[in-house]
Structures are given as structure tokens and as C-alpha cells.
């Protein structure tokens, strides 16, 4: 049984389109004894967003208020689109003062990547790429793998992920673990919201993107000089983007071989992270060691806020 936690919901992007998923998620969390706050975040609607830009920014900024008790977990309701519209309105100084030394776990993925990278770049806050309320806690079939890794990661100061996916390159590097959704990450290039990580281990994922589009975004990271500053590129899941008939055999595997031949750093494949039922939880901004062989890879992670 997990320790009972206080979970505050935020919806910085789209609104939940499946009310039943929200109900399932809340019922499961309440059944485990957790206290869920901010449920109104699941009810707001403004065009395609979960509230106006001002409402969604204020939802995050209230966490900087020293008069409020902090939750254990800040959980994104869902992704979609919209987080980039509120980046300029966040109180980074206030959030840093309030949260820098507090074991509060921000968690989400997909469009939430924009919030995570901005908090890391502007406030030095480490967050978690992991499950969200609707798609994961509210899934019709709850993934025991996802839930175990989420709660296990948040409850201790370090973990080692072992993946039995054969690798084409032997790798033994260490650095800052960072990344998230590839399309969101590349959209922040040239802005003050992309952290200037040197010697990092960059992980990326995406959904419904064809191989050539994935390659184009990786090339953008390469040509802008960002990949040259990293120790390794770790690829998560890229489901949903089927090649076109006109691609003439050019698929995800061919794409990986192409970028591997030009970017100048190791490319690791098979990370169970992304828009998939069984996903790991990864701290964005933590310290990591990556060891890969022909038999698979290990990712040892430490130095992130944990709930104990």
C-alpha cells in the first residue's frame, strides 16, 4: 500500500475530453487514500484549452504562495497543446523560492514538457516525466508497470532502470538527465525556456509523427548545436507515425541509422517512455549514468526530489 499523499491537479494545456477517464482516475486515487486537490482543473473549458491562459498560469503560480500548504505531488491532467502560451506568465522567481528545497514532485509528459523544461531553465527545478491523470491513472486498464515505477521512483532517492533492448553502440557516460516530448522540445529552441544543458543525457519521445518528421526534428537539434553538447541521445517510444507508401522502405529503423551516422553522439533505443501504457517515470534535471552494451542498457538516476 502506498503512503497516502496530497495530489494537486493542474491543467496547463488541453481539457480532458473523456469525463469517464477523469472519474476513474479520481476514484482510484481516492480508493488508495490519497487527497486530491484542484479537481476544478478538470472542469474548466476555454476553446480547446483547460481555461484561459491567465487561469492556467495562475494555477501554477499559486504554488509560489508561501501561505498555502504544498502538496506532495503536482499532477498534470493531460497534454494536448497550450502550455507554451503560458510560459511567459509563470512566476519563476517565486516558484524557485518556494519549491527549491521542497520535495514536491511535478509529473506529466507530452505537452507538459514545455512546463518542465521552463521550470528547469528558469527556476532550476527538477520535475518528473511520467504518468498523467487522464491517460494513465484514468486508463480503462490501469498499468501496474507504470504505477509501480511511478510510486517507486517518487519514494526513494535513486533508482536503476534496466532495459533488455540490444544496442548497436557501447556507451558508458554520465550527465544531467533531461528531455521529454521531441516536438515540444524543439519548439523551444532559441527561447529562454530551453535549458542550456552541457554534457547531458537527452531522452525524447513523440506520438503520431512519421519517421521523416522525427528525423527533421532531430536534425534541428543537431544543426543548432544542442546534440553536440550532450553525452548521448536516448530514444523512447514513437508510436502512431506509420511511414507513407511513398517513403519506399524508409522507416523508423532507417531513420535511427541515419541520425546515428551524422550527429556524433551515441543513440540508444528502446526506452519505455512516451505515449504508451507501460511507461517509466524519469526525473528531468537529475544526475544519471548510462551504460549500454549489445545486451541492453542501464540508466542509474539520483539527485532528484523524493517523497520518502
CATH classification of the domain holding 209: 3.50.30.60
- Quick one: average pLDDT of 73-83? 98
Last residue of a domain, which of 134, 156, 178? 156
Query: Can you give the C-alpha Rg of the chain in angstroms?
Result: 19
pLDDT tens-place string over residues 100-117: 999 999 999 999 999 999
133 and 231 both lie in a single domain: no
Is position 116 within any domain?
yes
Is position 167 within any domain?
yes
pLDDT tens-place string over residues 256-285: 999 999 999 999 999 999 999 999 999 999
13 and 143 both lie in a single domain: yes
Q: Which three cell numbers stand for residue 22?
A: 477523469
Residues labelled as active-site residues: 110, 205, 275
152 and 165 both lie in a single domain: no
Is position 1 within any domain?
no
Contact between 252 and 288 (Cβ < 8 Å): no
pTM for the full predicted model: 0.96
112 and 209 both lie in a single domain: no
How high is the pLDDT of residue 1? Answer: 47
Is position 219 within any domain?
yes
- Quick one: average pLDDT of 10-18? 97
Is position 307 within any domain?
no
Last residue of a domain, which of 109, 137, 156? 156
Is position 131 within any domain?
yes
Instruction: Provide the CATH number for the domain around residue 147.
Output: 3.40.50.10740
Q: Which three cell numbers stand for residue 32?
A: 488508495
Confidence check: pLDDT of 2 > 80:
no
Q: Rounded to an integer, what distance in angstroms lies between the CA atom of residue 84 and that of residue 113?
A: 9
DSSP labels, 147-178: HHHHHHHHHSSEEEEEE----SS-EEEEEEEE
DSSP summary character for residue 69: P
Q: Which domain holds residue 218?
A: 159-302
Domain count, the chain: 2
Last residue of a domain, which of 138, 156, 174? 156
DSSP summary character for residue 243: P
Amino acid at each position: 500500500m502506498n503512503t497516502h499523499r496530497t495530489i494537486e491537479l493542474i491543467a496547463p494545456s488541453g481539457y480532458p475530453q473523456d469525463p469517464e477517464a477523469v472519474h476513474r482516475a479520481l476514484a482510484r486515487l481516492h480508493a488508495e487514500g490519497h487527497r486530491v486537490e484542484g479537481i476544478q482543473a478538470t472542469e474548466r473549458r476555454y476553446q480547446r484549452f483547460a481555461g484561459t491562459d491567465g487561469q492556467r498560469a495562475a494555477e501554477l503560480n499559486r504554488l509560489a504562495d508561501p501561505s498555502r500548504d504544498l502538496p506532495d505531488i503536482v499532477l498534470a491532467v493531460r497534454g494536448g497543446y497550450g502550455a507554451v502560451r503560458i510560459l511567459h506568465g509563470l512566476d519563476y522567481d517565486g516558484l524557485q523560492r518556494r519549491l527549491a528545497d521542497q520535495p514536491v514532485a511535478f509529473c506529466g509528459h507530452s505537452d507538459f514538457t514545455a512546463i518542465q523544461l521552463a521550470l528547469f531553465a528558469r527556476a532550476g527545478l527538477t520535475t518528473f516525466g511520467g504518468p498523467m491523470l487522464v491517460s494513465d491513472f484514468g486508463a480503462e486498464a490501469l498499468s501496474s508497470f507504470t504505477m509501480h515505477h511511478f510510486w517507486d521512483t517518487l519514494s526513494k532517492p535513486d533508482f536503476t532502470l534496466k532495459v533488455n533492448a540490444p544496442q548497436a553502440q557501447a556507451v558508458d557516460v554520465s550527465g544531467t538527465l533531461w528531455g521529454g516530448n521531441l516536438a515540444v522540445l524543439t519548439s523551444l529552441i532559441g527561447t529562454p525556456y530551453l535549458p542550456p544543458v552541457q554534457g547531458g543525457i537527452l531522452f525524447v519521445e513523440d506520438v503520431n509523427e512519421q519517421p521523416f518528421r522525427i528525423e527533421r526534428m532531430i536534425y534541428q537539434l543537431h544543426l543548432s548545436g544542442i546534440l553536440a553538447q550532450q553525452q548521448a541521445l536516448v530514444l523512447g517510444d514513437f508510436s502512431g507515425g506509420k511511414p507513407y507508401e511513398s517513403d519506399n522502405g524508409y522507416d523508423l529503423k532507417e531513420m535511427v541509422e541515419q541520425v546515428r551516422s551524422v550527429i556524433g553522439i551515441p543513440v540508444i533505443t528502446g526506452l519505455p517512455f512516451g505515449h504508451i501504457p507501460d511507461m517509466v517515470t524519469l526525473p528531468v534535471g537529475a544526475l544519471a549514468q548510462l551504460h549500454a552494451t549489445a545486451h541492453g542498457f542501464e540508466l542509474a538516476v539520483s539527485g532528484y526530489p523524493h517523497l520518502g
